[in-house]
Amino acid sequence: MDNIYPNPVDDVVQISGNSGVESELLLTNLHGQVLVSTRFENSAQINVGDLPGGVYFIKITSKNESHVEKIIIAH
């Protein structure tokens, strides 16, 4: 299971994943538009400082698993 923190976030979201397992990360808005798409193995950082405050979703997919977590950008 991946950890996504802090939440709510001001500038940078930290994601720590399963060690050695490649994952795909998608950051989307409430309309489903993909704002960030990246791959990572152990950890990732996403700078959200330029996005308007509000609710967003992070979807992480690795091997046969996928999960979505809601984040709040509060600035």
Sheet holding 65-73, edge to edge: 34-40, 23-28, 54-62, 65-73
Please compute the mean of the pLDDT values over residues 25-45 and round it to a whole number: 96
Model pLDDT, residue 31 = 97
CATH code where residue 49 lies? 2.60.40.3080
53-64 per-position pLDDT tens digit: 999 999 999 888
Whether the per-residue pLDDT at 24 is higher than 80: the answer is: yes
- With a CB cutoff of 8 Å and minimum separation 6, the contacts of 1 are 18, 67
**Residue 49 belongs to domain spanning:** 3-73
Model pLDDT, residue 64 = 82
Count of residues for the chain?
75
What total number of domains does the chain contain? 1
pLDDT bucket at 19, cuts 50 / 70 / 90: confident
Q: What is the pTM of this model?
A: 0.91
